[in-house]
Amino acid sequence: MPYREREITKLYYSIGEVAKIFEVNSSLIRFWESEFDILKPKKNKKGNRLFTQKDLAYLKIIYDLVKEKGHTLEGAKRALKDDRNALLERQELKDRLIKIRSQLVHLLEEIS
């Protein structure tokens, strides 16, 4: 997966941090926010977006649908509307498998 898999430990992420995680421009994150009503980052008094872990989970799904699987925006919206819970479950499973793989690779490096 092209975006950076890492442990999510913060409560809130700035748009710059989110863009860095997904290796995209901040403008794309803002565009997706305007297109997908499930993305609802909080905004501070200055108007800066503060993305939660749930926002990141939705962004992973959007990224996967649009960038990896080649869905149109309308197709991705439809998939999220029809199967949001299933997509969230699949993303959580995918994240767990990636973490397990990383741990196994680390163990293999230790014994080699």
> How many domains does the structure of the chain reveal?
1
Q: Where are the beta strands (DSSP E) in the chain?
A: 42-43, 49-50
Task: Tell me the residue range of the domain where 34 lies.
Answer: 15-111
Over residues 42-75, the pLDDT tens digits come to 999 999 999 999 999 999 999 999 999 999 999 9
CATH of the domain at 99: 1.10.1660.10
Over residues 18-39, the pLDDT tens digits come to 999 999 999 999 999 999 999 9
Residue 90 has pLDDT above 60, yes or no: yes
pTM of the model: 0.77
Asked if residue 87 is part of any domain, the answer here is yes
Rounded distance between C-alpha atoms, residue 70 and residue 61, angstroms: 12
| Structure token pair of residue 95 | 């994240």
Asked if residue 27 is part of any domain, the answer here is yes
